[in-house]
Structure 1
Amino acid sequence: MRLPRENRRFGRAVPSPAQIRAAIAGEASATAGLKAARRARAVSAAEPPDAAAGLELGSGQDTPDTPVPDPPPPVPRDLTAAAFFDVDNTMVIGASILHFARGLAARKYFTAGDVMGFAWHQVRFRVSGKEHVASVASGREQALSFVAGRETAEIRRLGEEIYDELIADKIWTGTRALAQLHLDAGQQVWLVTATPVELAEIIARRLGLTGALGTVAESEGGKFTGRLVGDILHGTAKAQAVRSLAAREGLDLRRCTAYSDSHNDVPMLSVVGNAVAVNPDQDLREVAKARGWQIRDFRTGRKAAKIGVPSLLGAGAVAGAVAAGMSHRRGA
């Protein structure tokens, strides 16, 4: 096959700048996600078990001699299989970054007009099902203008509050049930999203999942520099993040499962052995039918109890709003 002139060098294709950024973004996301997941496990292991309900240590009060049931045996770990879930319209109803943006706007971190701009980008993206180069570039610049100089700890604190206020009740119960099936089988379960990794980690932790792969914004000294590491975790960058994490964790991608609602996630869905279209857009539905992928649509009122476990288990993103939830305008 004849390579494009600009991509021919010594008979091999030369990655484009966009491909290089996607690769860097994927590697950075895997690094950040694994670091956060290991830190969370260490904290959990160090925490003492909760005292029994109604027992106050040192109170001197007698307590009934009630036998304490043995804890259930730990679930045997499946070391080579994992599940990867997109977030927006797959795990969360609507766009997670817009929910965070609404919460920040309510705190006067930026204006209602900013939120409307993010929302319009989301609507246009959902209607067309495609991202355009100029739109992505503009979104990246807008994202960086929001990020620069903001405290990472502040964003995590706000993310916790906003999750409780606006996202906790917007989890698709059917998708959450699918994630639990993987957890019950001893598998890792990861979110993979263009949402900033700090916010994605909050959603993953609150749902009891292993961790999250998300867009990584560079930080120094606890503050965002205003630069992304690579690019937004979108499209091929998601696939790169999954491959990178699988290589580091010793996962067999042929035994892994991925879930998404968007045609833009076909690269991620294609790298695993079992792909599932959840609440799919029209383009993804057509691809799923053509490739024999499973389709799960929770918008039809089907109950999670009726959803079967995928066969292998039994045997984007909004570029312009990526960092909207990570910081606020100066003086807004």
Structure 2
Amino acid sequence: MQLTLFDLDNTLLAGDSDYLWGRFLVDEGVVDAEFYARENERFHAQYEAGNLDIHAYQRFALAPLLTNSLERMQALRADYVERVIRPLVARHTRALLDWHRQRGDQIAIITATNRFITEPIAALLDIDVLIATDPEIVGGAYTGEIAGVPCFQAGKIERAKAWVAEQPQRFEHVTFYSDSLNDLPLLRWADTAIAVDPDETLAAAAREAGWPIISLRGEDRPF
């Protein structure tokens, strides 16, 4: 059986669900607008440069879950997914997912974005397996810290291996689709690496390695 892994942000989506969630919280008046917008931009720039401190970022990103009721945050999340995320599903995403399903592949999302944000997005895409950065929950409450290994950079390899080890079936081949330089470790680990609407660093690495470069956003179906 083949395992096909998909990054989420700027790969299956034509946007970054983590960054946009921060902007959404600012627009909805949930957080201090000036501080949160500034920090959201700062962390996003670090991510794009490949030098993000994932633990510091997740403390920032998870903080609203500590200061608002879960019911309020879940309601906001549902509104966010419907209004912001649904229109950002890339043009050919669903067709690509269906193509892999028809081949009999096991498909999964593997993303650095935390599970609170990404669970309903995986459901929107009809993907049952989500490997994400897990927020720590103690006594039924979020602590603002990460539980276990963050699903980021080389941590994605560790998380992918851990998930595979838990499965009853063997996977003979692993394919990974991503847009980001932060995913170079997992792209190099996978049997087949595919760059999707890549950033400049990943595009250069893909050309050097001979990996396919595709777009899920253009007019022409790339597969």
TM-score range, shorter chain: 0.7 to 0.9
Question: Which residue of structure 1 aligns with residue 8 of structure 2?
Answer: 87
Contact 1:83 1:179 in 2 (8 A): no
Q: Distance in 1 between matches of 2:147 and 2:68?
A: 16
Q: Distance in 1 between matches of 2:94 and 2:133?
A: 22
Contact 1:148 1:224 in 2 (8 A): yes
User: How far apart are 1:145 and its partner, in Å?
Assistant: 4.2
Q: Mean alpha-carbon deviation: is it higher for 240-249 or for 147-156?
A: 147-156
Give the TM-score normalised by structure 1: 0.60
User: How far apart are 1:225 and its partner, in Å?
Assistant: 1.9
2:142 is the alignment partner of 1:224: yes
1:28-67 alignment to 2 at 5 Å? none
Q: Distance in 2 between matches of 1:156 and 1:302?
A: 35
Question: Which residue of structure 2 aligns with residue 51 of structure 1?
Answer: none
Given the superposition, is the C-alpha separation of residues 124 and 227 from structure 1 closer, same or farther in structure 2, using an over 3 Å criterion? closer
2:21 is the alignment partner of 1:100: yes
Give the TM-score normalised by structure 2: 0.87
Q: Distance in 2 between matches of 1:153 and 1:251?
A: 38
Q: Mean alpha-carbon deviation: is it higher for 146-155 or for 82-91?
A: 146-155
1:1-332 alignment to 2 at 5 Å? 80-113=1-34, 114-126=36-48, 129-131=49-51, 135-136=53-54, 138-143=56-61, 145-148=63-66, 151-152=69-70, 154-250=72-168, 252-298=170-216, 301-304=218-221, 307-308=222-223
Q: Deviations over 1:114-138 (max 9, x none)?
A: 1343034314532xx3215xx5454
Which runs of 5 or more residues in structure 2 are unaligned? none
Which runs of 5 or more residues in structure 1 are unaligned? 1-79, 309-332
Given the superposition, is the C-alpha separation of residues 251 and 200 from structure 1 closer, same or farther in structure 2, using an over 3 Å criterion? farther
Task: Give the strand-richer structure, 1 or 2.
Answer: 2
> SS where residue 37 of structure 2 aligns?
helix
Contact 2:58 2:145 in 1 (8 A): no
User: How far apart are 1:204 and its partner, in Å?
Assistant: 0.9
Q: Distance in 1 between matches of 2:2 and 2:28?
A: 41
Contact 1:84 1:258 in 2 (8 A): yes
Q: Distance in 1 between matches of 2:161 and 2:74?
A: 27
Q: Distance in 2 between matches of 1:152 and 1:231?
A: 24
Given the superposition, is the C-alpha separation of residues 139 and 249 from structure 1 closer, same or farther in structure 2, using an over 3 Å criterion? same
Q: Deviations over 1:269-311 (max 9, x none)?
A: 2222111000111221122122221110345x3422xx22xxx
Superposition RMSD in Å? 2.4
1:130 maps to a residue whose letter is: G
Rg larger for = 1
> SS where residue 11 of structure 2 aligns?
coil
> SS where residue 280 of structure 1 aligns?
coil
* Aligned-residue identity in percent: 26
User: How far apart are 1:144 and its partner, in Å?
Assistant: 5.5
